Amino acid sequence: DERTFIAIKPDGVARGLVGEIISRFQRKGYTLVGLKQVVPSKDLAESHYEEHKERPFFSGLVSFITSGPVVAMVWEGKGSIAMARAMIGATNPLASAPGTIRGDFGVDVGRNIIHGSDSADSAKREIALWFKSCELLTEVVRSSNLYVPSLWWPIEK
C-alpha cells in the first residue's frame, strides 16, 4: 500500500504536539509502519532538503531542523501521500486552513511543525534516507496475531 514520510519538526516536538499529530493520522485510518525520534545530523538535513539548497532560507532551515529532536514516521494507507499533505496544510501556516495541522497550530513559515512527502518519488527517497528497511513493519508482521489489539485483551483468558 502507499507509504509516505512524515516528520514532526523540533518545534512540534518541543510544543508537545506529537500525540495530537499521531492521533490525527490514526483516526484518518492510516497505519504507522515506522517511528523514531532523532536529532538529525547536518548531512541528513541537507540531503532531506537538497531540492532547496540554492534558496536563501536553506541554511536557516537546516539549522532549525537539526536544533532538536524530530519524530520521523512512515505512514501507510490508501492515498496517504496526497492526503497527508492535505491534513498538514499549506507551507505557510498563515495560509493553511483551520482544521489542518499547520492551520490549527502554527503562524510562522519557518516554524511550521511538520513535514510530509510531496510526491511518490519524494516519499520513496525520504523513507530510504531516514529509515533502514528493518525499522519498518512488514506485511507479515501486520497480518500476524501480534498486531491484532483484541488478541491482547483480556490478559487472562
Active-site pick, 100, 115, 116, 126: 115
Residues 6+ apart with CB under 8 A from 2: 76, 77, 78, 79, 80, 81, 120, 123
x-or-dash string of contact with ligand GTP, 54-73, rule CB under 6 A: ---x---x------------
Establish whether 48 is a catalytic residue.
Answer: no
Q: Which of residues 26-55 bind ligand GTP (CB under 6 A)?
A: 52
- Indicate the residue among 86 and 148 with the shorter CB distance to ligand GTP: 86
Distance of CA 66 to the CA centre of its chain: 15
d(CA 106, CA 79): 25
Amino acid (1-letter code) at residue 116? G
Residue from 74, 116, 127, 131 touching ligand GTP (CB under 6 A): that is 116
DSSP string computed for 51-72: GGTTSTTHHHHHHHHTSS-EEE
Three-point CA angle 106, 2, 12, nearest 5°: 20
Q: How far is the CB of 135 from ligand GTP (least distance, A)?
A: 21
According to the annotation, is 112 in a ligand binding site? Answer: yes
- Interaction site with ligand GTP (CB under 6 A): 52, 57, 61, 91, 109-110, 112, 115-116, 118
Residues forming the active site = 115
Binding positions for ATP: 9, 57, 85, 91, 102, 112
